[in-house]
Structure formats: C-alpha cells, structure tokens
Structure 1
C-alpha cells in the first residue's frame, strides 16, 4: 500500500541523491563455476546508497589539462543585454552550502554512476524502484539534477491518478511569497569527480546543453511549489514552459568548482508565472558575491487545468524584501511593454502596415547583395555568404526515455538538443569554436509527444559586425513535428541563440562574414527577428 503523499516542501527540504537504483553486492562465483547469466531467483536488493566517501579521489594526472581559451573573452556588451538584478547574495567569507540560504535547504546532487574503482561493483536490480506507479515515471535520459528535482515533486503528480483528477479545481487562491518557492541546487563538482565527468564538455567546462536542461527542470519545480495548495481533494494544475526570455552567460562555468543554482518566482499574472534563476560559482582568487554570478535566466510558465485544458488562475505573489519588490516591478513593467508592442504590431498588420514603404525599402536593402550572389556569383562580395549556405539539420524520433512527468517530451531536452545544433552551426560558420553569449528567446508553441518525428533546422539568421571587439552571430533553430503519413509539418518550438568569436582570434585579424538572404521570405525572417530583438531586449 502506497504511503500517504507528502507535500512538496518536505521533499525539497531533504538532501536528494539522483541515484535511485537499488544496489546489492553480488555473490562472487568460483572461477570454475561461472555465473548463470539468467538466474531463476532474484537477489534481494540493498537499499543503502553508496557514500561519496567510498569514491577514491581522482589524481591530477587523470584529468585533461584545463583550457584557457576564455581567458581573454570580453564581458557582454551592455548594449545587448540589460543587467538583471540579483535576488540573493552570498557572504564571501562563508560559502558553504549550509550557509547559502537558511530558509530553503539546498538540494544536493550526486552522480548517477558508481565508482569504477570499487573492488566489488554492486549489482543493479532493474526490477526494483522506489517510485510507483510506473505511469508516472519520467524518462531515464535526463541529467542527475533533473532526476533529483522530479523525484522531489513526484508526490504531487501521483494525485493525478487518485480521485483528485476528477475532483474540483482550486477555487480559493493563496498568497505566497518568493521565499516559499525559492529552491537551491548544489553541484559538488570539487568532491564528486564522477558527477564532474557527467557534466564535462570537451574543453573542460560545464556542458551548457545539460545545464539548460537542469534550469528548465528547476524552473518547473519552482512553479509547482508556487501553485501547490497542499489540498489533496483538488486537482493539481498542469504547468507548461511558455518561453525563455534572455538567458545570459556572463562568464565561463568551470567544471572543477562547486556550482550553485538558485531561483524563485518574481512575478505572476492571471495564469502565468515568471521565474528568475541565477547560477553562481565562486573563484578562490575573487570571492566577491557580485562577481560570482555566471548566468542569469528568466522563464515563463503558464498554468492549465489538468482536466479541461484551459488556462487556470495561479496563486498570488506577495514580495517581501526591497529586492523582491524591485524585481516584481521590473517584470510587471516589462510584461506591459511587451503586450503594448505586440498590440502595435497587430494593429499595423490589420491596417495594411503603418509604414509600408519603409518595410519595402528594408527588404530591398537586404535583398540587394543576395541578388548579386544569385545573378552574378563571381562579382559577389567575398566577405558575405548566403543564409541558405549556413544551414544544418538534425532529425530524431522522440523516445519515451525523453518524456517528462506529464508524459510529453521534456522541454529541457528540446533546449539541450537545440543548443548543441546551434553551437555546431556557429562552429561550422566561423571555422573555429564559438563563444556562447546568451539564449535570446525560446518559444514553446506546441507540445511534442513520444513517438513524434522531430526535425531541427538551424541557420545563421544574421550577423552584427558593427562592434569589431565583439561581433555577434545570431542563430535560429526551428523544431518541426512532422507526420509523413499525413504529409504535415508543424512548428513546435523556436530557439534563438547568440554567439561571438574568441578574443584571441579577433586580435589576430579574424573577421566574420555578413549573412545575406536570397529570397524575400528569408529577408522577412531577418527583419522579424531584428524587430523581436527590440521587444525582448
């Protein structure tokens, strides 16, 4: 019989290990009697997890030398990104996980693999699990942090199979503070070398695609905490990632130093929730809290009724501190400005375009160089390239291992794959490894289901070469859900990333090429993206 569900806060107040497999030591057979690969009886699992102290430290010689390619990369230009206020500071003299936030104990993450140096590696009992029922299991593809976060909030989703699914919706909205949703994740990279290997990229830094996945899972957990009413009789809300607005990388993230991610709700509308997340990493030679912020991100979630599928109201937000009140006002003003600009664009389209001649002039200006490429390729500018010649594509069948708690493909997985395709596109365009700067914007337009045939198409939509010290490469990735049987293709997601060039290459005279459209459709895409940048910047 399943124990009564606990509320989410009790789960998040416990140090969570991402290793959920049950382990047991195998019987050591005699060399003359090899073990039967198909035993008739299952061994009894040991529910004790391996302690980190049993993992031997890795010698320095086992680690690849650290790359210093980011040493001369300039800070992000203030003209491209507005500084995002910090909602939490860490005392430089005491940066231990226990002292980071007294109101919300951090979630500790351990590696999902046992040490390869154990003398008797444990037996994995694949038939056992702590979590039931199986229909609520998320996929097994995801990172240790994502697994830990979903484990923490899985009890809430278990109510979807109980009477609460047919129960009444939440009628009385609660008032919650940002501190009630604040959640912290700690990556013990300095001590858990197996976890470090799971997140290491080829250049000895944190793999950003996996970090994007973790950030989406953390934002979802924060949204669940804010919307939860702790009432087992009402049906819980379904929370969906609507967009990612300005995720800015301020400095490279090392894989050999402990990492902290903290996030909280900053603003709510009727059915939308804005969440701000900060990634911090201290440097031993510079323990200043304001300089420790490595990445900032803003997520927007929308609430849906789990039975009717319509938008549903969410709990109110009451900021307490001056910093929380400032963030609330900033996000509220930003939300009103975006709505106003979208309304102006909509009215302009309905009126046939308030500046028709200006738009035609912009299109012709973009198409002028592209027409030369098409008509007189030998006379075209050698420092320019057609947009269609920068394209890459990736196709995949969405597997059940990539689903989330709702049974659909996890948005963090889609961001992970889109980022790696965008990185590859910028790499091929530059001819050298690019430097990631920010996620400009992500729209989750339609859900992606298990079994869908997904096609990711990327291109360099345009470049900005005005600033010679930091030229920008803007990458567009569009995800299409295709159904060959029906001969249909629908856009499910759009992603926009910005990269730049390594400072050392620029010092040696490297210059990026100008991207030009060859068709009017491509020119309109470029203009739409440039106009959108003005809205979201």
Structure 2
C-alpha cells in the first residue's frame, strides 16, 4: 500500500505520462530475462508524488483523512474494463544514490551497503505504481481521481543474489503485472544496481495486491490480461500455477492440518533426543550438544507508530512493516550466529489486518529452524491493545526469512508442542524457499 510523502526534495514531474514511448515486445522479453532494460523514467520520489496526485491525496497529516466517498460512484464494472497486455504495465524507476547525498544517508548501512529493509519498502510502493500502469478505466472522466485503493496481501519468492550493494551507486526498480484475478493482481518487481556501468540483479519479488474501492470498503475489479507475446502467455500460465500453489500451501499450513507422517516421525525423534532414558526423570529435558532451545532465542521490540508511517487511510504503510520485520529478523539471525548473516530468501510475508497509525507495534523474531549453516526466522508483528490499560494483542503480519552464516550454526530445538509446530512450519518454509520441496 502506498505511503504518504512527508518530506523529500522537490522534483519536476513529467507532465505527459501518455507520451512515454511504448515498450517493444523485444525489450519487454529482454527485461524479463534480467538483462538491460530501457532507462528509468522516474525517480522513486517522483513515483510516490505522482501516485498521490492520481489518487487525489494531499500533503500534510490530518487525524481524520479526507473523504473519498464521492469517488465510489466511479467504481467501474468488470465488463467496462478493457484487456491489457503485460507490457502495458511494465515500468521502471530510479533510486539516484550516486547523486543524492540525503538519500544515501537514509539507505546506508554501517558497512556502506544498502539497507535491504529500505529496498523492500520501496518495492512495495513500486508495486502500487505498476498497478496504476495496468488499470485503465475508459469511463472515468478526465478530471476525476482514480477511484481505487491498492493494498498488499502477500509478498513471496524474494530471492537475493550475491551482489554486494554499494550505497553510492544508482538502483533501478522495474516491474510488470504477471497475473490478475477479479480484484487481485500478482506483480513481479526486481531490483538492479549499477556495477561497472552495467545493471546487475539484487533481488526479485512477487507481490499479491488487492484492488479495493476508493474508501477501501469493498473489492474493485481490475482489467484482465490479454497476452501480447509468447513470453506473456508463459508468464500468465505460471501465474495461474503460482495461485494454485499458494492456495495449496495455505490449506496445508501446520496451523490448519496435522503434520504428515514424516513430520510426525521427526517430532518423535526430537522427543527421544531431548528426553532422559531413565523413566524416573521423564519430566527433565535434555539439550543435546551443539543445540539451543527455541524458547531462549528470540528478539522482541516494541515501537510506537507515527503519522510519517501512514497511508491514505491513516493505517500503517505496508512497506514500513516489511522494513521493520526484515530488520528484526536480521537482528535475530545476527545474534544467533554471532556474525553478520547473509539474507538469502523471504518466502512469505502475509498481511492479515490493517494497523492503525496510532498503534504500538510489537515485533518478535524467532529462530524456528536451522540446517547446516542456514537459519529460518519467523517474525510476528502484533498490535498492542492500549485501551483502558489493556494488555491484549492482535497478530497482523507474519514474515519468514532465510539467512546463511559463514559457519555451521547451533541446531535449534523446540521445547513444547507449540514450539514444535513452529519448528515444522519453519522447516516447510525453508525447504520451499530453497526449492527443495
């Protein structure tokens, strides 16, 4: 979901979006293969500003957002939306790190690399920009703002290359629509950075976005996809398969169905390894050598939200939650390894509930699975109930991320049945992200 700009350098917006040169099929196919793509048109700051203008949003914080109910009557019917090719939505934007010193300060790590959490935040915003390129409403009057709201449902299949990022080199963000349903959209977004005058891949991610009406009170239809090339047909077909796989994985979640036969054997093996053979000491748990208890290796952070983290509806911008979750998981992995870990994959980021901008957010990152020199981290984001001194909390997001250490790490082991379920789920996510299942 798009964030509301609070600060940044003033930029000269391009006045004629329609004057953008059409992307040829050959260029589109080349871009999909991760090779050279046409030069970016916008900076990310321009993208964010343009999205605000299209939606009719204004700068400045207001506790009660400006009403968009007058736009509901312009919500199109599905049959009024023309089919679009994937290349219609293909677009790029630039993070001009080589020339913008203020931007460098916001993105730099203490080693001079680029903070991955910041990049995930930008990718989420950019996915909304791709949605804007895809949506075409012929019945919408020229002077009326776009009667849509776009929300992030899921982020999946984020795989990071071995490229060592440099905060003084420009980064290009590119993406296009890869599949659509009635009101849902799968958008592929990838990052590249200049390295010896050639853009090289940092990562690629799949965003599942939901199209909602202007007041975010119901779904809104989106344009169907009519593939223009063989490449687009293959991508669209793959989107259908990914949808089915997501549904299957969700249906088979360890939190919904019992473990399979192999996993039950694995659970029994853990029990045998951590239980004393002396029947007089069954209540005692044994920790094998080179192992650690899961309950003793988690990090907890609680932070307040502020208006700078908001979107158009005064709920927390999804990209900000992604940044918090990623940086929390990295902290947990670093403390567990004792050395700086490498982020390898993010296999699942779910967005269950909106987070009010007045919230206190609690982030808990657990080491839920280890294998050789890999760690699987589960990060849970809860919103704390502060009304009347209450201490309740509601889970709004769950992230799974995979890290790699230079050395073999201690094995993590569950101590309770509850933790054993986390262990099994973490193992599943690890195998999925590594392409092993």
Q: Tell me the TM-score normalised to structure 1 length.
A: 0.66
Alignment of 1:433-512 (within 5 A): 433-465=340-372, 471-485=373-387, 486-502=390-406, 510-512=407-409
Aligned to 1:364: 268
Query: How far is the alpha carbon of 1:449 from its aligned partner?
Result: 0.7
The equivalent of 2:160 in structure 1 is 249
Other structure's SS at 1:338 match: helix
**Does 1:170 pair with 2:82?**
no
C-alpha distance in 2 between matches for 1:307 and 1:195: 32
Q: Aligned with 1:395: secondary structure?
A: strand
- Aligned-pair CA distance for 1:323: 2.7
Name structure 1 gaps, 5 residues minimum.
Answer: 1-16, 22-46, 48-84, 92-99, 109-144, 466-470, 503-509
Following TM superposition, by how much is the alpha carbon of 1:484 offset from its aligned partner in structure 2, in angstroms? 3.5
Structure 1 residues 371 and 400, CA, compared in 2 at 3 Å: closer, same or farther? farther
Q: 1:519 to 1:343 in 2, by over 3 A?
A: closer
Q: Whose strand fraction is larger, Structure 1's or Structure 2's?
A: 2
3-state SS, counterpart of residue 414 of structure 1: helix
Given that 2:302 and 2:361 are in contact with CA atoms closer than 8 Å, whether structure 1 keeps it comes out as yes
Contact kept in structure 2, 1:480 and 1:493, CA below 8 Å: yes
* 1:198 positional shift: 2.7
Query: How far off is 1:342 after superposition?
Result: 4.3
Which residue of 117, 130, 148 corresponds with 1:237? 148
SS of equivalent residue, structure 1 residue 281: strand
After the TM superposition, which residues 64-463 of structure 1 pair with which residues of structure 2 at under 5 Å, given as runs? 87=32, 89-91=34-36, 100-101=37-38, 105-108=40-43, 145=44, 147-158=45-56, 161=67, 164-171=70-77, 172-229=80-137, 231-232=140-141, 236-251=147-162, 252-284=164-196, 287=198, 292-307=200-215, 309-343=217-251, 349=257, 360-371=264-275, 380-463=287-370
Asked whether the 8 Å contact 1:239–1:302 carries over to 2, the reply is yes
RMSD: 3.2
Q: Which residue of 2 aligns with 1:113?
A: none
Give me the whole-angstrom Cα distance separating, in 2, the residues matched to 1:321 and 1:327. Answer: 10
Q: Does the CA-based 8 Å contact 2:130-2:177 persist in structure 1?
A: yes
Deviation at 1:472, TM superposition (A): 1.1
Deviation at 1:333, TM superposition (A): 1.5
**What secondary structure does 2:322 align onto?**
helix
CA deviation profile, 1:449-476 (whole Å, cap 9, x unmatched):
11112111111111012xxxxx211111
Alpha-carbon shift at residue 321 of structure 1 (Å): 3.0
Normalising by structure 2, we get a TM-score of 0.80
Assess if the C-alpha contact under 8 Å between 1:474 and 1:496 holds in 2.
yes
For structure 2, list consecutive stretches of 5 or more residues without a partner in the other structure.
1-6, 13-29, 58-65
Tell whether the 8 Å contact from 2:158 to 2:206 is kept in structure 1 after alignment.
yes
Distance 2:68 2:342 in 1: 48
Cα distance in 2 for partners of 1:532, 1:148 equals 36
2:428 is the alignment partner of 1:522: no
Q: In the superposition, relative to structure 1, how do residues 325 and 195 fare at CA in structure 2: closer, same or farther (>3 Å)?
A: same
Distance in 1, Cα, partners of 2:145 & 2:126: 24
Larger Rg: 1
- For residue 32 of structure 2, give the secondary structure of its aligned residue in structure 1: coil
Q: What is the distance in 2 between the residues matched to 1:523 and 1:344?
A: 16
CA distance in 1, matches of 2:317, 2:69: 26
Instruction: Report the Cα offset of residue 186 of structure 1.
Output: 1.6
CA deviation vs aligned residue, 1:96-120 (integer Å, no higher than 9, x gap)? xxxx427xx5213xxxxxxxxxxxx
C-alpha distance in 2 between matches for 1:339 and 1:419: 24
Q: Matches of 1:487 and 1:527 in 2, distance apart?
A: 29
Instruction: Return 316-325 or 364-373, whichever deviates more.
Output: 364-373
